[in-house]
Amino acid sequence: MNHLWKMAYICTAYILTTVSLPQTNWSSLNKKIQKETSPFPCNTLGKGCFFLSFLFFINFSYSQNLVPNSSFEDTISFNNWLSIGQPDFGMIPPWFCAGGSPDYWSESWGGFSQVPDVPNAGFQYPHSGIAFIGIGVYWSGGTFYEYIETPLIHPLVGGKKYCVSFYVSLGNTSMFAIDAIGAYFSNDSIMSPPPIQAGFTIKVTPQIENSRGNYINDTSNWVEISGVFIASGGESFLTIGNFRVDSLTDTLHVKVDSALFSQNVAYYFIDDVSVVAIKEDSANAGKDTTICKGQSCLLGSAAVSGFAYYWSPSLGLDDSTKAQPLASPTIRITYVLRVIDTSY
């Protein structure tokens, strides 16, 4: 008895992106992107024909963190103390103040301990290490904007993707929470020239910014702000703060009274800043294909230097580790392509 295979099969391809960085939980970057699905017409499949579908898995590999002193652990000795008993912000090179008067908080500095009981600001443990930064990003009674800035280890490369991340936590004594905290990359320091006046808004558009309407009001946990952008090239400095003027800064009233410096402010702790280059290959297993028994087809695309290719299952393939193996299956099958960056 002859069996005529006629089947309607919907092939859906997925790309699963996984990120793994030391000392950083990048699970929030995991994405599952579904391509448009389209039924394969039944009358196009003939006797003994097989529909090949593909799943593509890409492992992104990341290079070094381009942010020096990224968790504010390295300090220098200097006899310059603020009135509330913590060292001047300039003691954590190469970070410097780009506006206002940011604060440095540490579990141990010259016999003083301001963490986790941060004077006038709240209670918080570092996201990592023993220290973090505090900045004011909004004041209902007037302009109160503070910014921190650092040179990068080396300039960003034009056309390359970079993943940016840092962690924030709202100070317990803040009266307001906001949604406008971001990271701005510039070729030159925004302090040179001209210097930003203390308390005034830096009116630029940050490449990475927390989503509008997503008020960061968690005082117990650290909240990650992250994103990916394509560099223009030459960006050598990173600045963090609120880059929206008062009228464009959305606020959430979270407290009746604010003890923080006796002002009605939004004050945030910042820790673990990261900027890493993404190196990726556009994994391409080829188009969904129908072949008949005894036929073969070439999968994938040309190999890219620095990447390893793994196909599974290996059934019907001449080489499961080639970028373009020859497939000669005898059954309907789904091949999975995994591409790994081996250059790091």
pLDDT greater at residue 109 or residue 16: 109
pLDDT digits (tens, 9 = 90+) for 223-246: 999 999 999 999 999 999 999 988
Q: How far apart are CA 325 and CA 317, in angstroms?
A: 6
**Is the CA virtual torsion 40, 42, 46, 48 positive or negative?**
positive
Each residue of 86-100: b (16+ CB within 10 Å) or e?
bbbbebbeebbbbbb
Name the helix (H) or strand (E) containing 274: strand 265-279
Share of the chain above pLDDT 90, in %: 36
Cα separations in angstroms, 323 against 46, 50, 52, 302, 334: 29, 22, 17, 6, 16
Q: What is the mean pLDDT of residues 236-265?
A: 81
Name the helix (H) or strand (E) containing 298: strand 297-298
- From the centroid of its chain, how far is CA 139? 28
Amino acid residing at 140: S
Is 243 exposed, middle or buried (CB count within 10 Å of its CB: 0-12, 13-18, 19+)?
buried
Query: Which of 332, 334, 333, 307 is CA-nearest to residue 322?
Result: 307
Kindly report the number of other CB atoms within 10 A of residue 10's CB atom. Answer: 10
In contact, 50 and 334? CB cutoff 8 Å: no
CA geometry: angle at 305 spanning 303 and 310, to 5°? 50
Each residue of 171-203: b (16+ CB within 10 Å) or e?
bbbbbbbbbbbbbbbbeebbbeeeebeeeebbe
Confidence of residue 268 (pLDDT cuts 50, 70, 90): very high
Query: Which of 3, 65, 81 is CA-nearest to residue 278?
Result: 65
Q: How far apart are CA 46 and CA 313, in angstroms?
A: 24
Share of the chain above pLDDT 70, in %: 67
Q: What is the mean pLDDT of residues 291-320?
A: 86
pLDDT digits (tens, 9 = 90+) for 134-193: 999 998 866 668 899 999 999 999 999 898 999 999 999 899 999 999 999 999 998 644
Q: Which two tokens stand for residue 151?
A: 């040179």
